[in-house]
Structure 1
């Protein structure tokens, strides 16, 4: 588990960077086992730290202790659904696949009996939208905000093939706590989800209100009731490893940005400004 901040760091001016994590596919794995690559139902700390490190142009061997030390909060604006992608693996030279075991010389043994095709499974979240926020020293958080807007390396939602929609940052860095910032950031769900919520609000009984929606969130909290093993030690292939963090689950009453009349067509809060290649998909 990351060490507690030093007294000097605790008194340093703090800021919060807010990220909108949305795309056709996301995958936030915290472990992998042979032919199976799972995805957690929301972004992991290692995934967020990796995204920030890529934006800042840090190589895999770089120190990431300052990024790991940032406090993380994640809000589930649109949970999405789980997708299983079926894969097969074979050797392009037509040779039998090797097995996991190695011989005395350290070379992988061939499969016995010979196996030419291996089945693997990849799991993704489809049509999910999250709002993640990191809190830490203002200078570092401001630098990371600039890096996200002008990333050194391509950004991904967990796996390299999972491209994010725009915008990723939701404005300038903020003052205040993670809880306050995530509670006041407008709902970022896609157009279809927002229109469905509007219809429910217009026909539902009071005291149902279209102006606020209850959303699940998790926060880094040393006194939290749950633990996750997703804190990276390093992204170097030779030094990969993870430790645990404690988290607290909460519900936030978030502004929807919707008017009360269904006559007005709802638009996603993130739709303003810039070209988005996924706009035609209703994001």
Structure 2
């Protein structure tokens, strides 16, 4: 089994799994439905296409830099009506967050997905269309890991040097991954069955949480990929077209 790694980093992210009506919340980490939607977008799929080959991948995420909650409120008016206002809606975001996502499955399929994420058909966003990534998400496919848990317990910490300086006593990072049989888990309604415009459908997913020690991770500065003055990669994450 191979593991695809994604770094999710941006000024704002929002990963809702139960938002309704005027309150649009966010979880503290990316949801499986949000990641599957991002991969489907990268592959150029329509909302009516099957998701089975994406949802079957083993999924896990590590909270390298949890960020802070930001709340925005919005209102709108029906087109052509300058007097009637719609109710305010409250939108919740994670500000200045970084996550390491791992997906495990067939090596060839993961390489196809990795190429698509590096050169997406449709723009990528971190939960909502107003939340683009600030760097190319794909970190590549790793062959040396048995599963997502081993990858997330070994890969380098992605936090910025500024975050590390502000949290000198931090010793562990939280990991949330697909639960296995007979394992303590919580339920989240973020396993997508269909993104169809006619009827979006989701199922429950067992989520197992554990922590990994920072001292056990690879020794790499979280900002090492983009030092000041360094030339950025040829592919601009904002240059989707």
Task: Please give the TM-score of this superposition, normalised by the length of structure 1.
Answer: 0.74
- The Cα offsets for residues 213-236 of structure 1, whole Å up to 9 and x where unpaired, read as 411001101334211110111111
Structure-2 residue corresponding to 1:144: 113
Distance 1:94 1:239 in 2: 29
Structure-2 residue corresponding to 1:257: 219
Deviates more, 1:226-235 or 1:163-172: 163-172
Structure-2 residue corresponding to 1:90: 77
Structure-2 residue corresponding to 1:56: 43
Q: Is the 8 A contact 1:142 1:173 kept in 2?
A: no
Q: 1:126 aligns with which of 78, 92, 95?
A: 95
Distance 2:115 2:99 in 1: 20
Structure-1 residue corresponding to 2:226: 271
Q: 1:163 aligns with which of 110, 119, 132?
A: 132
- Where does the alignment leave 5 or more consecutive residues of structure 2 unmatched? none
Distance 1:178 1:239 in 2: 31
What is the CA distance between 1:53 and its match in structure 2? Answer: 0.7
Q: Is the 8 A contact 2:187 2:204 kept in 1?
A: yes
Q: 2:197 aligns with which of 237, 240, 254?
A: 237
Larger Rg: 1
1:18 aligns with 2:15: no
Structure-2 residue corresponding to 1:29: 16
Distance 1:44 1:141 in 2: 19
What is the CA distance between 1:96 and its match in structure 2? Answer: 5.9
Distance 1:267 1:245 in 2: 31
- The Cα offsets for residues 64-111 of structure 1, whole Å up to 9 and x where unpaired, read as 1110111111100011111110111212422665xxxxxxxxxxxxxx
CA RMSD of aligned residues (A): 2.3
Residues 90-239 of structure 1: pairs in structure 2 closer than 5 A: 90-94=77-81, 97=84, 116-176=85-145, 177-197=147-167, 200=168, 213-222=171-180, 223-239=183-199
Residues 269 and 244 (structure 1), Cα distance of their counterparts in 2 relative to 1, 3 Å cut: farther
Q: Is the 8 A contact 1:188 1:270 kept in 2?
A: no
Task: Please give the TM-score of this superposition, normalised by the length of structure 2.
Answer: 0.86
Q: In structure 2, the residue corresponding to 1:171 is in which secondary structure?
A: strand
- The Cα offsets for residues 126-169 of structure 1, whole Å up to 9 and x where unpaired, read as 01111010111222111111111111110000001101021311
- Where does the alignment leave 5 or more consecutive residues of structure 1 unmatched? 1-13, 98-115, 202-207, 259-265, 279-283
Number of aligned residues: 228
What is the CA distance between 1:277 and its match in structure 2? Answer: 7.9
